[in-house]
Amino acid sequence: MRILMAAALSIPALALTACSGSEVSADKTASRAGAHLQARAYNSGFELAHQTYNGISPASDGNIYYVLCSESIDTGAQMYCYNPAADSVRHVGDLTEACGEKGSKAIVHGKSHVPFFESNGKLYFATHVGYYTVKGGRELMGVPPPGYKPYPGGHFLAYDLKTGKFENLAKAPQEHGIITMTMDPGRGRLYGITWPNGYFLRYDLASKDLKNLGAISQEGEAGSGPAYRTLCRSMVVNPGDGSVYFTTSEGDIHRYRYDHDALEKIEGEDLRKDYFGSYDPTSPGHMGYNWRQAVWYPKDKAIYAVHGNSGYLFRYDPAANRVDVVERITAEPSRRSGMFDKFYYGYLGFALGPDESTLHYLTGGAIYQDGRPLAARTKTQVGARGEENLHLVTYDIPAGAYRDHGPIFFDGGGRPTYVNSIAVGRDGAVYAIANIPDNGRTRTDLIKVPGPLARK
């Protein structure tokens, strides 16, 4: 294992890739105009790093564990550990090797797009494919070139925090990746949704039994036309009865019934709310009525979730079977203008803090110049309507208090972008995987932001 002393990067504003002087000026004006946060960037040493969704979590040992993804056909995703006390980054392992498939000449495990879930001293997570074939603007399962085998399928994995060893638990069927995952620690169950077809998996740790309960939403993201559906990226366990909740792009709420070992659609309530907007579930490019990210709030025995495109926070009470819209928790510029944030799918960086009362949300806010929002710089900014600053928003659930803590900048004016992950440390510091401007190029790595709880 490699140990790298984490280095803070002081990134000058002119290091922003393809960024004009006027845009840099807009950044500096924004930071001087009001409250803002200063991020620190780290270099984990993985040159092939690509955007990570979810893929970062705090653990009971006080460390932050994260995955840097890869689009390479040969080199898969890498797992790292950041130690806040030592301010150091340690390479934990290669996920393809952890799956027992290193050197097999199959498409590698390029991604892990799920959080880590901890139970009995182990972290549980899953792998996903990173090598795609793009057709008609859509990412499809990668077709292996001559000499390579197809992607073998995503794995459920465990990582022992004491021994540092990986355990290969089970593999998804039909060469699918695992794009969504949750865990019921009390019952020793892992749950996953596969990509691209959207099969619901459940794995029992004690019996080592993997069961495929079938497709949850038409043909998922493998479908086209009427059969296409964007898949839910977040599932929530009710620890009381073991139910697992997820949504569909039509706005239906579904659950896995632990007592029946079966799936069912919730009747009498849904997410087709006027506040969220209007969506065609057969059309790619948005999450539809799916919640984007959701968490279990123990004090209310309820689910708090954010609708991706509109940025509305809402509460779902399983006992009452009722959805209550709570507050729009987009960045303040979006709230003032009445416009959506700039990322079509919404943001996955949404989590309860260590106080188990404060929601933390990393979301985008438009950058205004001469009274108008800046347009997207390049066509490669997939899912972006325009340039944006990353904002940290908190919502105190008991107090019902929203606060935008302002845009996030690196020293010198550059900003982290393309953030769809979050971990809140014991001290309240906020971590994420971001695109980082670095001497005229952009790289993907860990960032750290002093959080509001840390400053209390």
Helix (H, G, I), strand (E, B) or coil at 123: strand
Per-residue model confidence (pLDDT) at position 357? 97
Q: Is residue 123 part of a domain?
A: yes
Weakest mean pLDDT among 55-59, 206-210, 295-299, 306-310:
306-310
Q: Is residue 455 part of a domain?
A: no
Residue with tokens 């498409």: 107
Per-residue model confidence (pLDDT) at position 454? 62
Helix (H, G, I), strand (E, B) or coil at 116: coil
Q: Give the span between the Cα atoms of 305 and 209, in whole angstroms.
A: 30
What confidence category does residue 343 fall into, taking pLDDT thresholds of 50, 70 and 90? confident
Q: Give the span between the Cα atoms of 175 and 299, in whole angstroms.
A: 40
Q: Given a cut of 50, is residue 61 above it in pLDDT?
A: yes
Q: Which CATH number fits the domain that encloses residue 46?
A: 2.120.10.80
The β-bridge relationship of strands 401-409 and 37-38 is: parallel
Per-residue model confidence (pLDDT) at position 228? 96
Per-residue model confidence (pLDDT) at position 338? 85
User: What's the pLDDT tens digit per position in 223-261?
Assistant: 999 999 999 999 999 999 999 999 999 999 999 999 999
Per-residue model confidence (pLDDT) at position 27? 41
User: What's the pLDDT tens digit per position in 346-387?
Assistant: 999 999 999 999 999 999 988 877 777 776 554 444 555 667
- Whole-number average pLDDT of the chain: 89
For the segment 189-210, the average pLDDT, to the nearest whole number, is 98
Residue with tokens 């209007």: 278
Q: Is residue 294 part of a domain?
A: yes
> What's the domain range around 199?
3-449
Q: Given a cut of 90, is residue 25 above it in pLDDT?
A: no
Comparing C-alpha atoms, which of 228, 320, 223 is closest to residue 268?
Answer: 320
Per-residue model confidence (pLDDT) at position 35? 74
Per-residue model confidence (pLDDT) at position 266? 98
Per-residue model confidence (pLDDT) at position 17? 28
Q: Is residue 251 part of a domain?
A: yes
State whether the Cα torsion 244-315-301-299 is positive or negative.
positive
How many independent structural domains does the chain possess?
Answer: 1
For the segment 35-59, the average pLDDT, to the nearest whole number, is 95
Is the pLDDT higher at 336 or at 384?
Answer: 336
User: What's the pLDDT tens digit per position in 124-160?
Assistant: 999 999 999 988 878 899 999 999 999 999 999 999 9
Q: Is residue 105 part of a domain?
A: yes
Q: Given a cut of 80, is residue 38 above it in pLDDT?
A: yes
Per-residue model confidence (pLDDT) at position 386? 65
Task: Give the count of beta carbons closer than 10 Å to the beta carbon of residue 310.
Answer: 20
Per-residue model confidence (pLDDT) at position 377? 57
Please count the CA atoms within 13 angstroms of the CA of 421 that sit on its side-chain side. 34
Per-residue model confidence (pLDDT) at position 131? 96
The structure tokens listed for 413 are 């004016």
For the segment 179-200, the average pLDDT, to the nearest whole number, is 98
Per-residue model confidence (pLDDT) at position 367? 83
Q: Is residue 336 part of a domain?
A: yes
User: What's the pLDDT tens digit per position in 432-448?
Assistant: 999 999 988 999 999 99
Per-residue model confidence (pLDDT) at position 12? 30
Weakest mean pLDDT among 298-312, 343-357, 382-396, 409-423:
382-396
Q: Given a cut of 80, is residue 2 above it in pLDDT?
A: no
Q: Is residue 253 part of a domain?
A: yes
Q: Give the span between the Cα atoms of 51 and 68, in whole angstroms.
A: 7
Q: Given a cut of 60, is residue 32 above it in pLDDT?
A: no
The structure tokens listed for 183 are 């865990």
Q: Give the span between the Cα atoms of 449 and 456, in whole angstroms.
A: 14
Q: Is residue 197 part of a domain?
A: yes
Nearest-Å Rg of the Cα atoms of the chain is 21
